[in-house]
Amino acid sequence: MHSPYRDDPRGSTHTELQDYYENVPPAHRFRGESPYASAANLNPSSQDIPLTQQGYTPPLAADTPAGRSYMHNIDREWEDGDATKASPWAAGAREKPNKSRRCWVLAGVALLIAGAVAGIVAGVLVSRNNSSSSKSNLASNSPSSGDPSDFDKDENLHVSFYGIAYTPAGSQLDANCGNSLDDVIKDVQLLSQITTRVRLYGADCNQSALVLEAVQQTKVNLTVWLGNYVSATDGGEAYERQRDTIKEVIQTYGTDHIGGITVGNEFMLNYVESQGTDDVTGTVGTTGAEMLITNITDTRSMLSDISVDLPVGTADAGAYFNEKLLSSVDYGMANVHPWFGDVSIDDAATWTWQFFQTNDVSISDEVDNKPQMYIAETGWPTKSSNTSTETNGASEASEANLQVFLDTFVCQANANGTEYFFFEFFDEEWKDKTYGGVEGWWGLFNSDRTLKNVTIPVCS
């Protein structure tokens, strides 16, 4: 069977990837989530530092216009770098005072001292409160539109999807973390009307806290699989940064709405391809697995240190798991895209299930721990920005064909117990600008959150 991931070119550097996408025909590009979804290879900025550690006191909700970026609503002081002021299937000279004046001066000094002492005490109390509770400042940054839990329901939406793949808009470090709590709340309100589960890809740009805060404020039934996007070439910098962020998020929000922590997204695919091979079972594949397992084990240690028990897994291209890796996780998530398998839309649902069973479930069944297996991504693009990729050679990228895939996959997968995260919530314009082709057009919703010209299946 032709692997839909065989032609993926992604190496280990940003420059190499840019060169590839500028020079290789769009038809050879792989669809999986971009390694820059969380910009793991970039150096962290002040926007990565949890706001609870920066002394930031958020403005009142009334001073926070809807749509303003959460990571950029911290006044002008941030710009100056002063953080003290996101089928089955982101002294002048003093003159000598007279006696009367001296009294006023002394009184003023006394008042100033008293005020300073009070300020210090208040500051210590606030600092202690922030340190002890670790409660995110996001909680005070409610949207300007009232109670987030009181929102209109769309009669065209149904809680029919097992799960949805989701990245909040503006959650890329190289895009200056333009995400916002207001926007994520709007997303969560919609997501809760089509699913009870979402998976994230990374933890940069405060996206984990944004999503969990939105769930808390909207009071919806939504479980989140947190993500840590791992790079093999940065000495663990991205992994450690996101691990510490995830730790703080868990300490702040607890685990009631967390389904697991996914360490790595297409790590194996990227690693073996960067070594010039697609053999995931050989020496290179074993080395890659050992590298990722180090991070998985470290994540478990972090959770143990804070007395938390959560499943830890990984996500990768459907043909890039091996037994060594699966024997070290609680779950595996596999990207399975019929579009990149050059499969016709009429056969897409059946092909997806068969590919998943053959390449992923079968390996899980062979290891002692038998990790739970999910389809991490599957779906169908609705358009292409390039005429050369308007079809996959068998069927068109169109809303009509997305409808066919919805009609033949969703309810059938629910019925037979296939656990999947449909790809994806909404179109991501940055992907279209960066990669072209079908990359930015996989959403059920348009980028403005309007439902595409499709009918959501009705099933539980």
- The set of catalytic residues is 266, 377
Question: Which amino acid would we find at residue 158?
Answer: H
**From CA 378, how far away is CA 202, in angstroms rounded?**
19
Q: How is residue 91 written in tokens?
A: 């002294």
DSSP class of residue 348? H
- Contact between 194 and 155 under an 8 Å Cβ cutoff? The reply is no
Q: How is residue 440 written in tokens?
A: 């930015």
- Contact between 278 and 6 under an 8 Å Cβ cutoff? The reply is yes
Cis bond leading into 16, ω under 30°? Answer: no
- Contact between 178 and 69 under an 8 Å Cβ cutoff? The reply is yes
- Which residues, in sequence order, are CB contacts of 325 under 8 Å at separation 6+? 268, 289, 292, 293, 314, 332
The residue whose two tokens read 């685990």 is: 255
- Contact between 356 and 377 under an 8 Å Cβ cutoff? The reply is no
DSSP class of residue 239? H
- Contact between 381 and 441 under an 8 Å Cβ cutoff? The reply is yes
**From CA 335, how far away is CA 104, in angstroms rounded?**
75
Q: How is residue 406 written in tokens?
A: 């919805």
* Helix (H/G/I), strand (E/B), else coil: 111: helix
What are residue 374's DSSP bridge partners?
333
CB atoms within 10 A of CB 24: 12
